[in-house]
Every structure is written in C-alpha cells, then in structure tokens.
Amino acid sequence: MFSSTSPARRMAEGAVQACPICGASLKANPRYPDHVCAGCEARTADADGRSVRYHNAAPDHPDLIDSLRASYADGTPYRSETCYIDGVKCRAREAHMGGVVVRPAGKKGPWGSPNP
Ligand SMILES: [Zn+2]
C-alpha cells in the first residue's frame, strides 16, 4: 500500500530523482543519485523484518570507521550497514554532510566494491 504522494514540486533547479524503492520524486542529489526517500528510510528493517533505525553518533571506539549507528526499537544495537526496505536489500552509510543515507545494496558504485 503506497501512501499518496503529491505531485513533485518543481525545484528551482528543476532536477529530480526517483526514490529507488517507492519511486517518489526527490530533489536530485548528484552524490547519492539512488538514495531512498525519508519515508522508505523510516521503514528500514533487518533480514527478519524487525524495524531498525540508523542514526549518527560521535565515534566512541577507535575501531569504528564512522559514526553510523543502528538500533532496534527497543534500543538493542544492530551492527550491520545492511538493511531491508520492503524486502529490497539496502545499505546505510553515513552521509557526506552528516546524517544517514540509505541506498539499494545491489548497485555498483562507490559502495559496490568490497572493502579489503
Ligand atoms: Zn521511497
């Protein structure tokens, strides 16, 4: 069931991109051309469908690469950047300017290559 989305507002720049999950029109983001919309990001879940929320926190451990954190609704930490939205495997990352960005995991790109 999709919630009704108002027609894409014309941005001053005119450029829009579509959410890869629900197709909602988003302001074009050259850095993250396939990031999901806020509504889809709010539905991230683990492989079993348990809701997971990503957020940023100050790095508190030297082994942590970035400040991305995730937890279940009850506060239990979720230790993976992999998540699912409507059954689509996605990856969450710390956004360039802070915050969290979620993109489909199947895409090749900056995140597509495995870390050594
Ligand atoms: Zn969406």
Q: How far apart are CA 15 and CA 112, in angstroms?
A: 25
Q: Quick one: pLDDT at residue 32?
A: 93
CA 50 / ligand 1 centre spacing (Å): 18
Q: Using DSSP, state whether 99 is helix, strand or coil.
A: coil
CA 63 / ligand 1 centre spacing (Å): 32
Sign of the torsion formed by the C-alpha atoms of 34, 97, 14 and 43? positive
The pTM (predicted TM-score) of the whole model is: 0.73
CA 18 / ligand 1 centre spacing (Å): 8
Q: Quick one: pLDDT at residue 13?
A: 56
CA 36 / ligand 1 centre spacing (Å): 5
Q: Quick one: pLDDT at residue 114?
A: 42
Q: In the predicted model, what is the mean pLDDT of the chain?
A: 81
For residue range 48-104, list pLDDT tens digits in order. Answer: 999 999 988 766 566 555 678 899 999 999 999 999 999 999 999 988 877 899 999
